[in-house]
Amino acid sequence: MVTAFMEKTTENQAVQSSSQSHKESILKVNNLEIFYGEKRAVNGISMDIEKKSITALIGPSGCGKSTFLRSINRMNDLIPGARAEGEIIYEDLNILSEQINVVALRKEIGMVFQKPNPFPKSIYENITHALKFAGIKKKSKLDEIVEESLKKAALWEEVKDRLHKSALSLSGGQQQRLCIARTIAMKPTVMLLDEPSSALDPISNAKVEDLIVDLKQEYSIIIVTHNMQQASRISDKTAFFLSGDIIEYDYTEKIFTNPAVKKTEEYISGRFG
C-alpha cells in the first residue's frame, strides 16, 4: 500500500508540491479508493487536511468529492454496495477500519448537509436530541449548551424568544444555521460541510459563509462546493477533483491565481464542468 502511495505522488507533481504545510494536519488520507459495487468513484487519492483551517473540495458533478467527504464520517456505510479501501488516519486510527465505533466517530466528525434538514421538532429539541442521547440530562446543562451553540451559529438573537417553536417555522438559511448549531453542540473536532449554502438565497448564503469562517477558530472544516467564488473567499486550501482523482491540491490563493495544472485553470475559469 505504501509503495502504491509513493507511485501516486511521484506521478503527480501537483500533489507533491502541497506537502509543505505550516499547520499540523488533522486527517491524513492515504491511497483512498471508494467503490459503489463494481464502479470505482474515487481512485486512490492521498492528501493531508490541516487542523483549524478550511479545506474546499471543488470539481464537476460526479467527480467523487462528495463521496470522499461522506467517507470521512462513514456516512457511505448507509449506501448498499459502497466500500472503501486505503486509509484515512485520524488521531492515529484508520477511520475506515472495521473496529472503529462509527457512532463515536460521528460525534467527533460532524456533518452538515446540502439541504437544511432540521428534525420536525422544536428548535430547542433539535439541539438537545443528540445531547440527550449522549447522556447529558440536566436541564441547566442542556440550556447552557443550546444557548452557546446557537450563539456560535449566529442564530441566538433571531430565535431566543421562540426556542420551543417548531424548527420548520424557520427560514431556509436559519434552518441551515440550526443544523450547524446542532453539530457544534456535539463539540466535534472536524466539520464536514456538503454544499451547505447551495440551497439558500444570496443573503442567507453570505451569513452561512461568515459563520463558516468564524468556525475555523475552533474546528477543522472540509467543505464541498460548486461555487468557485465561495471556495476562493473562504477556504485556506483547495483540492480540485476530476473523475475520482485529485488533479491539484494547494493553497487556495495559488489554485485560483496560478494553478500548476492546465485542467485546474480550465475548470476554475469555467471552461468545463
Partner 1 sequence: MNSKTADRIATGVFIAIAIIIISILVGLFSYILVNGLKHISLDFLTTPSSNVRAGGGIRDQLFNSFYILFITMLIALPLGIGGGIYMAEYAKPGKITDIVRSCIEVLASLPSIVIGMFGLLMFVNLTGWGYTILGGALALTVFNLPVIVRVSEDAIRAVPSDLKEASLALGITKWHTIKTVLLPSAFPTILTGAILAAGRVFGEAAALLFTAGLSTPRLDYANWNPFSSQSPLNIFRPAETLAVHIWSVNTQGLIPDVEDVSNGSAAVLVLSVLVFNLLARWIGSMIHKKVTASK
* Cβ nearer to partner 1, comparing 180 with 242: 180
Q: CB under 8 A: which stretch of 26-34, 49-57, 102-110, 206-214 binds partner 1?
A: 102-110
| Gap between the Cα atoms of 86 and 262, Å rounded | 28
Residue ranges in 171-200 that form contacts with partner 1 under rule CB under 8 A? 179, 182-183, 186
Quick one: DSSP state of residue 164? Answer: T
| 166 is a site residue for partner 1 (CB under 8 A) | yes
Say whether residue 168 binds partner 1 (CB under 8 A): yes
The SS3 assignment for 198 reads coil
C-alpha cell at 24: 499540523
| Cα 23 to Cα 11: distance, rounded to the nearest angstrom | 25
Nearer to partner 1, 125 or 250 (CB): 125
If phi > 0 it is left, if psi is from -120 to 50 it is alpha, else beta; for residue 272 that is beta
In the complex, the smallest distance separating the C-beta of residue 55 from partner 1, rounded to whole angstroms, is 18
Contact predicate 56/35, CB 8 Å:
no
- Give the C-alpha separation, 21 to 234, whole Å: 18
Q: Does 122 bind partner 1 (CB under 8 A)?
A: yes
C-beta atoms surrounding 214 within 10 Å:
13
- DSSP string covering 52-114, please? TSEEEEE-STTSSHHHHHHHHTTGGGGSTTEEEEEEEEETTEETTSTTS-HHHHHHHEEEE-S
Q: Does 125 sit near partner 1 (CB under 8 A)? A: yes
**Exactly one of 32, 41, 63, 75 binds partner 1 (CB under 8 A); which one?**
75
Binding flag, residue 106, partner 1 (CB under 8 A): yes
Residues 227-266 close enough to bind partner 1 by CB under 8 A:
none
Identity of the residue, 167 or 211, whose beta carbon is nearer to partner 1 in the bound complex: 167
For residues 29 to 68, the per-residue mask of contacts with partner 1, x marking binding by CB under 8 A and - elsewhere, is ----------------------------------------
**Under DSSP, is residue 240 helix (H, G, I), strand (E, B) or coil?**
strand
Q: Is 134 in the site for partner 1 (CB under 8 A)?
A: yes
- Interaction between residue 130 and partner 1 (CB under 8 A): yes
Using CB under 8 A as the criterion, which residues of the chain lie in contact with partner 1 when the complex forms?
73, 75, 78, 80, 103-107, 110-111, 113, 115, 117-122, 125, 129-130, 133-134, 164-168, 179, 182-183, 186
